[in-house]
Amino acid sequence: MKYALLFAVAGLVVRPAHADDELALGRKLFLQQATPACALCHTLKDAGSEGAVGPVLDELKPDAARVANALRNGLGNMPSYKATLSEAQIQAIAAYVATASGAAR
């Protein structure tokens, strides 16, 4: 019984490699490949970005669903990215921002 509990807890701590790949892709897209780049407007400590227009993501701590919705539909002055990013890219950025800002995915 105690071994089953140990493995269950260990499974919560270890992330699959594909999750790390998704976060790395999300960071790359956040910094460089989204046009305009997210980092131009948003501050996110993990990315080393200090945007002056959009909200500070470290303070906002948006979850992945909120980020994905903003990327798909735009929000305020932020444009929609659904014509320039694939759904997989949107999900990667959303996962990265949620994780890097300390929000729940």
Q: Where are the domains of the chain?
A: 17-101
Confidence of residue 33 (pLDDT cuts 50, 70, 90): confident
Query: Out of 1.10.760.10, 3.30.1540.10, 3.40.50.300, 3.40.50.150, which CATH number does the structure's domain 17-101 have?
Result: 1.10.760.10
Beta bridge partner(s), residue 56: 43
pLDDT tens per residue across span 54-66: 999 999 999 999 9
Query: Is residue 78 classed as helix, strand or coil in its secondary structure?
Result: strand
In this prediction, residue 17 carries a pLDDT of 66
Q: Of 24-28, 42-46, 52-56, 71-75, where does mean pLDDT reach its minimum?
A: 52-56
In this prediction, residue 8 carries a pLDDT of 45
